[in-house]
Amino acid sequence: MWNAKLISALLEYGFVQIGNDYSLYILSKDDIFVALLVYVDDIIITDNNNSEVDNVKKFLNSKFMIKDLGLFKYFLGIEIIKGDEGLCMSQRKYCLDLLDEFGMSACKLIDTPLEVNSVLASEASEGDDFLENITEFQKLIGKLIYLTPTRPDISYSVQTLSQHMHAPLQSHVKAALRVLRYLKGSPGKGIYADWGKCFTRRSVSGLCLFLCGSLVSLKSKKQPTVSRSSTESEYRSLAATTCEIIFVLKLLDDFGIHNLLPVHLFCDNKSALLLAANPVFHERSKHFETDVHIVREKNLSGLLRLEYVDSKDQVADVFTKGLCKAQHHFLSQRLGLLDYFPNKIEGGCFLFFDDLKSYVAEW
């Protein structure tokens, strides 16, 4: 009922609810443009005319009891830090609270969230039993998931661990605490959005999308079907990225941003690129589901421009595998991650919850 009342008020003022995102409302008339984003009863407003924002606030205040929090600084646990040329979205306080909650405030630092090419076991073995009480582990992973929007560098680690929430092993606890040890080194790191660069748009397989050089969308997700080759796996990633590109283009169109085609789509698998560029069905691809061939369709229509990128420069690798220290740091920088609060403190840690303490005594 609250949502219905709010929608009614916004429509009365002249806002239009966007079909691509029902939490987004846009007012566009003459030379005025206002965008209003709603999360339950929290609202962000931006425009190209400050006086119109004031008018919207007055209107909302006449309909509801509102509290004006001023400039955009903190929203849903995300801290917005304004620099000279852009914004940095960080969850520093949330990260520090997370470290404190799980007794890792004084832990020793580590350079990567996951060991290189590590594979988490799914069956118990000698010295690696299932946890009897899985609540704390599930709680930790749930909190890490909430951190990933501003910390894409831990996305792969978290999605890997989340696959074992129903039956975690002792080794999974150690892997989860390794992520906390990694976060301790840079709790204030966040996504930097720079509006000073040229207005270009590119995306890479894996997937992550960039607008004006700033990260706007990312995903690290296990594929729903088993691929018979690396070509098929990469081709499915291209299809998933294409769908995300289409969604973002529709959203940008609602903001009045057009003429972004073709979108440069980068992939480090030449076979997948050749398959996407050739409209002829090959023997090796006849078993592919029809929907993955959306890549071919959009490539031929001119929406995409498929390009090859060397594996060492493939930013999306952060979302698909554990990397060495140097490569992880290099690709994290390419994602646009910036730390406004560098942390140099090191030390040991004390774990205060009994269920997991015996499994991680070495930390």
Q: Quote the pLDDT of residue 226.
A: 64
Is residue 286 over pLDDT 60? Answer: yes
Residue 362 has pLDDT above 60, yes or no: no
- Report the pLDDT value the prediction gives residue 11, as an integer from 0 to 100: 95
- 248 has pLDDT over 70: yes
Strands 189-194 and 32-39: unpaired
Is residue 114 a contact partner of residue 363, using CB atoms and an 8 Å limit?
A: no
**What topology does CATH give the domain 196-318?**
Nucleotidyltransferase; domain 5 (3.30.420)
pLDDT of 20-68, one tens digit each? Answer: 889 999 999 888 899 999 998 899 999 887 788 999 999 999 999 999 9
Average pLDDT along the chain: 84
pLDDT digits 0-9 by tens, 191-217: 887 655 544 444 434 688 988 888 888
Portion of the chain with pLDDT greater than 90, in percent: 41
Closest by alpha carbon to 199, among 251, 266, 149, 263? 263
For 197, phi then psi, to 5°, come to: -90, 175
Adjacency order of strands within the sheet including 42-47: 16-17, 24-29, 32-39, 42-47
Q: Which of 85-94, 288-297, 341-350 has the lowest mean pLDDT?
A: 341-350
| Mean pLDDT along residues 156-167 | 91
CA distances from 277 to 209, 232, 282, 294 (A): 21, 14, 12, 11
- Say which range, 36-40, 103-107, 208-212, 342-346, has the weakest mean pLDDT: 342-346
270-277 vs 230-254: helix axis angle to the nearest 10? Answer: 60
Q: What average pLDDT does the segment 263-274 reach? A: 88
Domain regions of the chain by residue span: 2-70, 89-188+340-357, 196-318
Pick the CATH number of 2-70 from 3.30.310, 3.30.450, 3.90.1280, 3.40.720: 3.30.310
Q: How far is Cα 44 from Cα 38, in angstroms, rounded to an integer?
A: 7
Angle at 125 between CA 123 and CA 131, to 5 degrees: 70
CB of 309 closer than 8 Å to CB of 267: yes
Q: Which residue would you say has higher pLDDT here, 140 or 318?
A: 140
% of the chain residues with pLDDT over 70: 85
Determine the pLDDT at residue 62. Answer: 95
More confident residue, 282 or 109: 109
Mean pLDDT of 224-243: 79
Residue 350's CB: how many other CB atoms inside 10 A? 11
Closest of 299, 302, 316, 120 to residue 209, by C-alpha: 316
**H or E stretch covering 61:** helix 50-63
Structure-block tokens of residue 21: 């995102």
Please, where are the H alpha helices in 225-285? 230-254, 270-277
